[in-house]
Structure 1
Amino acid sequence: MLRKVSCQDSGYDCKFVVQSENVDELVEMVQMHAEGTHDMQVSEAEVRSLAVDA
């Protein structure tokens, strides 16, 4: 199932969106973006809770 995470859906003024059928890949991409762009750490559980059907 295709899942997505969007910074805007999470309340940030950022156009980052990632979609993947692989949740582990989704988690990795969101964590890399959060750390590199927003200088914040996001847990796997947090990413999974933010993911919605795409």
Structure 2
Amino acid sequence: MAGNALHFMTNANVYLDGNSLIGREKEIKLPEINVVAAGASGAGDDRQNSVTGGV
């Protein structure tokens, strides 16, 4: 990543199953996110293209 990463969230609402508010948390440590990239080429294409494989 480009060096701008979030490590903590403060004063966050906490939800159960995405819809039921169960409380507020003063500080939450966020997990590290790694981006996976792979090479791909099409039929008859000699170039190697970089494809981001998600988070």
Instruction: Please give the TM-score of this superposition, normalised by the length of structure 2.
Output: 0.26
Structure with a larger share of its residues in helix: 1
Larger RCO (CA under 8 A, 6+ residues apart): 1
Instruction: State the TM-score, normalized to the length of structure 1.
Output: 0.26
